[in-house]
Every structure is written in C-alpha cells, then in structure tokens.
Amino acid sequence: MTPAIRHCFLFLLTATMSSPVPAASEESAEAVASYRRANEVSILQGFVELLGIPNVASDGKNIRRNAEYLRRQLETRGANVELWELEGAPPVVFGTLAAKGAERTLGIYVHYDGQPVDEAEWTHPPFEPTLYTASIEDGGHPRPFPEPGETIDPEWRLYARSAGDDKAPLPALFAALDALDAAGIARTSNLKFLFEGEEETGSPHLGAYFETHRDLLDVDLWLICDGPSHQSRRPQLVFGVRGITGFEITLYGATRNLHSGHYGNWAPNPALDLARLLASMKDDQGNVLVADFYDSTAPISETERAAIQALPEVDPALRRELGLAASEGNNASLAERMLLPSLNIRGFESGAVGDKSRNVIPNVATASLDIRLAKGNDPAMMLDLVEAHIRKLEYHIVREDPDAATRLAHPKLVKIRRETGYPAARTSIELPIVRQLISAADTVTEESLILMPTLGGSLPLYLFTEVLASPVVIVPIANHDNNQHAPDENLRLANLWYGIDLLGAVLTMPH
C-alpha cells in the first residue's frame, strides 16, 4: 500500500468502526520474509512434489496419495491429523495444532482436488510441473528448476493442474509454519486444518462430513484459502459468495406444431406467451418485478459501502472489453449489483430460427433461469415468490407435462421444474476478528488491500456460516490469470511468496 492510499483506506474502514485496529507484528513479518528468501528453492521443490500427484476427485487412488502426503506434512509440523472417510468420497484431511496460551482458533480450509484435465489441450503434461520465465501468453519460455542458492525471479510461472486452484495455499502454509518455528515466534491462534478432496465436483459430501464431525469444527473464523487475487493484481480478502437456485418453465400451445397459415391468428403461440411472461419479471433496467423479490436481502452496511467505494474502478473498462454500451441498474457498479439477488434467463428455446425455421406455430416454449442469491435470500422462498408472480398472472402450475384434460381445463398453463440450491454467505467486515485479519493482511500488502464484500460466483460456504455457525473470509493467493479450471493452469511465484508472508502475518496476528 502506498501511504496515501493506505491512509484513505484506513479512513474509510475506521470511519465506521468503534476502536482502532491493532497492527500485526513487524518482527514476525520480517522473520517470515527472510526465511522465505533463504529457502525459496526448497519451498518450490516441495510444491513441485505436491503438484506431481494427480488430483482429479474421481481418481480415488491418487486422491488418497494427496491426502496421505498432506497428513505427513502436517504431522511433520506437529499437528494431530486424521483422515475422515465417507463411503464414495475422497478423504478429508483434518488436523489440529494448538498454540500455547492462545484463546482463539482459526480454521484453515484448502481443497486439494483439481478440475479434470484434457491432456491434449495442455502445453506440458498437467501433472509434470514445468517452470516458465513468464506466462506463456506473455512470451515466457520453459527453464530448468533452480539449484540451491540460485536467484528466483518472482515473475516466473509454475505450470501444473492446481498450481493456482487450489494447491498453492498448502506450500505457503507449510513454509509460514516453518518460518515461525525457525525464528521461535509463537503463533497467536490455535489452528484447525480442513483439506477437502472434492470441491471441484461441488463438495457433495462436505455437509455430511460437517454433520459427522461437528464437535471438532468449532473455530472463531474460517479462512477459505481459495480463489484468485483481484483482476487489478492487488491482493484481496473476500467476505462472501452468492447463493444459487434455478428453475425451468415450459408453456404449451397445441399438441403439435401447427401450420402458421392454417392456424396463425387463432392458435395461441407459447413462444409469445413465454416472452410475455419473462418480460413481466424484469424491467428494462434489470430490476426484478416479482413482488417481494428483494425484501429478504440483507442491507449493505456502511463498511461494505465504503469498501465498494475503495475498489478499483473496473466497470468502464469491463463494459468496453465486453462490447456493452451500458450495464444494468443505470450503470451501477458491478460490486454493488452483486449484493442483490439476480434473475437470469440462461436460455430459452421454441421452434427454430435461421435456416431451420419453418412457418409453424411452435407447440412448446421453454426457458431456463437461475437466481443468484444475496445474503438473507432462502432458495426455496425465492422460487415461491416467482411462482406467486406466475400465479398472479392466472397461470395454472403443473410439475409434469400436462395430459389432455389438464390442457383443456387451463388456458394458461405452465410446467415449472424447481431446482435445489443453497443460500449466500457474507461475513460482516466489522467483526473484531475480521478487523484483526484485515490488519494482519495489510502489513504484508504493498499495494492497497481490496476488501470485496462478495464474490460473484456461488460456493456452498453456507455450510460454514449456517451449519457450523462460524464466520468465513476467503483468502485468495493465486494470480488472477492462473488459467483456473482451464488447460495450462499456473502460479506466478510472486503470489506464492505473498501467500507465505500473508499466512505468517495471519498466524501471528495480535488479538
């Protein structure tokens, strides 16, 4: 952070807070940084070893190799570790590491599985880590791994599946623990480690693991070490995610496609009816017209508003890049619009267009929609509101394709297929432990730290905030251009060094 920006940021942050934010220890920050500088080559070697173990969730044998590797790493550092098991699920690596005299417990979540790979699309095999002098897009070329003592350029990139998403926090954590241990600096929090092995398939068993082991999972704050830094390359802390649900609506015309000459102007057209129904749901500024749609949404706090104001202004450039003359809500900022629930048509279909179009009245029209949820919105209740809107327009709702009698009884008939979903999660920036975290992260951030009230994406963090009833903060380490989920995933080494510094500061943050 430059002094001017830091001043401005702290002003914004403290303007809404009741007490000053204590600074993290300068001593420990320096100790961690110098340990890291002295051990970069061996830290990198450890990371390469981890990335060499294939980690697609469906590859049971290798997934277990990852878990065993992580168990050893934690045990080496004094933690008590167990592998939790559930039939058909990768193991969860759970560990505890007490800190003498600490009255606070931090949970550290990382997922060790990665997205499936199509080797043919990768420049190098995805589980044979390869070092580059810069990103391939920026003209980098492969180079040998450095010898001990050799200087490492922080712009080098390490290419491998999960280099960014989400193995990067693991060597950072191990190095931070080693650095503090080497310097004899005590951690200020007890730690619980929770390493999941199937996040990329939607964490289907995480809820069940939480139910089974709930008594072990009591912490003061969960750090979700996942996701990328801000697109501006500045480090960020993220305080929430959107929830999600969805539904599909199908309207019916005649029992078959009809000749538009023989029946046009007489047989109802379900594509038109669907257009009218969809149009009734949102105005031309993207505001949802479904009654009470916004009512359950948690208000935006003053601190959140200040954090949004302090964000780099990305909207105009983003509109230009995406070819958009305007964005919804009268060009209101993207970060602010994410704090409202959205109603999105992800597709619709009826009859045919282009070369395939025929002069028919289509017999069916379907639209698929998703609802991104903001904090406070219950997935089922939001679908109930949409259904109430549709009923108010005199539609009769069915759950299966209607039979002849049902068609003839109801001039306005809609099939609705409801999806399940999960709620949003959002932690208050004003909690004391969150303020302590922000302050710790700020000590290792040269540029101004970004405080992002919510990610646009959806993750089941409600399991932490609602099932475990603990606050969560997402602590990203990877570069934003890490090719997450894509071929040629990579980590910029400067981001690994940042992760070590960050976790060192977090593990020693004052109360």
**Least distance to its own copies, CB of residue 195, Å:** 25
Of 384 and 403, CB closest to its own copies:
403
Query: Which residue stretch of 1-9, 181-189, 272-280, 442-450 sits at the interface with its own copies (rule: CB under 8 A)?
Result: 272-280
Joined together, the tokens standing for residue 314 give 């990305």
340: contact with its own copies by CB under 8 A: yes
Residue that has been written with the tokens 């003061």 in this structure: 220
Q: Report in angstroms how near the CB of residue 169 gets to its own copies at its nearest.
A: 22
Contact with its own copies (CB under 8 A): which of 186, 208, 279, 380? 279
- Name every residue whose Cβ is closer than 8 Å to that of residue 355 and which is 6 or more positions away in sequence: none
Q: Is 262 in the site for its own copies (CB under 8 A)?
A: yes
Q: How far is 163 from 132, CA to CA, in rounded Å?
A: 13
Site for its own copies in 20-79 (CB under 8 A): none
| Residues 400-419 contacting its own copies, CB under 8 A | 404, 407-411, 413
Using the minimum distance from each CB to its own copies, give the nearer residue, 94 or 252. 252
Q: Minimum distance between the CB of residue 388 and its own copies, rounded to whole angstroms?
A: 19
d(CA 58, CA 89): 9
Query: In angstroms, what is the minimal distance from the CB of 109 to its own copies?
Result: 20
**Three-point CA angle 468, 224, 496, nearest 5°:** 160
Q: Which of 272, 300, 381, 431 contacts its own copies by CB under 8 A?
A: 272
Cβ 48 to its own copies shortest distance, Å:
31
CA torsion angle 71 72 73 79 (round to 10): 70
Residues 342-381 that bind its own copies (CB under 8 A): 342, 344-354, 356-362, 365-368, 370, 372
Residues binding its own copies: number (CB under 8 A): 85
507 binds its own copies (CB under 8 A): no
- Centre a 10 Å sphere on the Cβ of residue 314 and count the other Cβ atoms it contains: 15
Q: Does 244 bind its own copies (CB under 8 A)?
A: yes
Tell which one of 30, 456, 466, 510 touches its own copies (CB under 8 A). 456
Q: Is 274 in the site for its own copies (CB under 8 A)?
A: yes
Residue 399 is a binding residue for its own copies (CB under 8 A): no
Instruction: Return the residue matching tokens 């267009």.
Output: 353
Quick one: which of 305, 337, 415, 418 contacts its own copies (CB under 8 A)? 337
Which strands make up the sheet holding 157-159, listed edge to edge?
142-143, 130-132, 157-159, 490-492
Helix (H, G, I), strand (E, B) or coil at 29: helix
CB of 32 to its own copies, least distance (A): 33
Query: Out of 71, 242, 480, 492, which residue is the one contacting its own copies (CB under 8 A)?
Result: 242
Stretch that binds its own copies, among 15-23, 106-114, 181-189, 268-276 (CB under 8 A): 268-276
Say which amino acid occupies 511.
H
Element housing 270 (H / E): helix 270-279
- Whether a cis peptide bond, with omega within 30° of 0, leads into 378 is no
Do 225 and 475 meet the contact criterion of CB atoms below 8 Å apart?
Answer: yes
**CB closer to its own copies out of 4 and 404:** 404
| CA proximity to 176, closest of 17, 9, 34, 354 | 34
- Write down the least CB distance from residue 293 to its own copies, Å: 12
Contact with its own copies (CB under 8 A) among 187, 230, 282, 426 = 282
Contacts of 19 (CB under 8 A, 6+ apart): none
3-state secondary structure of 487: coil
- Where in 306-335 is the site for its own copies (CB under 8 A)? 319-320, 322-329, 332, 334
Classify each residue of 430-444 as buried b or exposed e, where b means 16 or more C-beta atoms within 10 Å of its C-beta: eeebbbbbbbbbbbb
Q: Which stretch binds its own copies (CB under 8 A): 10-18, 73-81, 254-262, 432-440?
A: 254-262
Q: Which of 114, 117, 152 is nearest to 131 (CA)?
A: 152
Q: Say which residue the tokens 């000459």 belong to.
A: 261
